[in-house]
Amino acid sequence: MPQLDVIIGPKEHSFEVAEGENLLFEAISRSVMIPFNCTSARCGTCRVKVLAGGEHLNEVGDPEELRLGEEKVNDGFRLACQAYVYGDVKVEVPQPRLY
């Protein structure tokens, strides 16, 4: 089974997921709280940066590219609600800027 690693701030959460499962739903089902509002690529709240294993995620779809923009997609960002895991993946949840 694929290994999913999710970094939120200083904590790293690691767990196995069944192949083809949704990244966001698998994380929140294990109390790894990736922020989200809609689960349908409309809000962009569940943005994550893929650190490793991007090739083990499904391809970026049109709604996801529209919400994130081509530059962010090229920089390795995905929407967790649109990402399905097919192998080992490591992502980081960007921390909001406080200024």
pLDDT at 98 over 70: no
Each domain of the chain, given as residue ranges in start order, spans 3-93
Mean pLDDT of 24-53: 96
The whole-model pTM stands at 0.93
pLDDT, tens digit, 9 for 90 and up, residues 58-75:
999 999 999 999 999 999
Specify the pLDDT at position 97. Answer: 59
Burial of 27 (0-12, 13-18, 19+ CB in 10 A): buried
CA distance 82 to 77: 11
CA distance 72 to 19: 25
Could you tell me which CATH number the domain at 3-93 has?
3.10.20.30
